[in-house]
Amino acid sequence: MTYDADLDAKGLLCPLPVLKARKRLQALTSGQVLRVLADDPAAVIDVPHFCNEAGHELVSTQDVTDGQLYFIKKA
């Protein structure tokens, strides 16, 4: 999947992955995609909840060896 910005949130615990994703998304324009790599177990709940609350689209999630990838399209 193509994306416009990347955020490595490995090693960060709740709520830091979501807070950093929010900050990174602010720099993007509507329709651009942010790829987030996180290994916090709570991220599987926090990231979809954040997207739902903020109006962003969670395009895709993927399990990878060192965590999960989230592709978030900015509203």
Return the active site residues: 14
Enter the pTM of the model. 0.96
Give the CATH number, domain containing residue 16. Answer: 3.30.110.40
The mean per-residue pLDDT over the stretch 30-53 comes to 98
Cβ-Cβ contacts under 8 Å for 41 (sequence gap 6 or more): none
| Residue 41, preceding peptide bond in cis (omega within 30° of 0) | no
Residue 60 has pLDDT above 90, yes or no: yes
The mean per-residue pLDDT over the stretch 39-57 comes to 97
The whole-number pLDDT of residue 1 equals: 87
Helix (H, G, I), strand (E, B) or coil at 54: helix
Q: Do 33 and 73 contact (CB within 8 A), yes or no?
A: yes
The whole-number pLDDT of residue 58 equals: 98
Q: How many folded domains does the chain comprise?
A: 1
Q: Distance between CA 75 and CA 65 in Å, rounded?
A: 29
The whole-number pLDDT of residue 41 equals: 95
| Structure tokens belonging to residue 42 | 């709570």
Q: Provide the domain limits for residue 35.
A: 5-73
Split at pLDDT 50, 70, 90, the class of 32 is very high
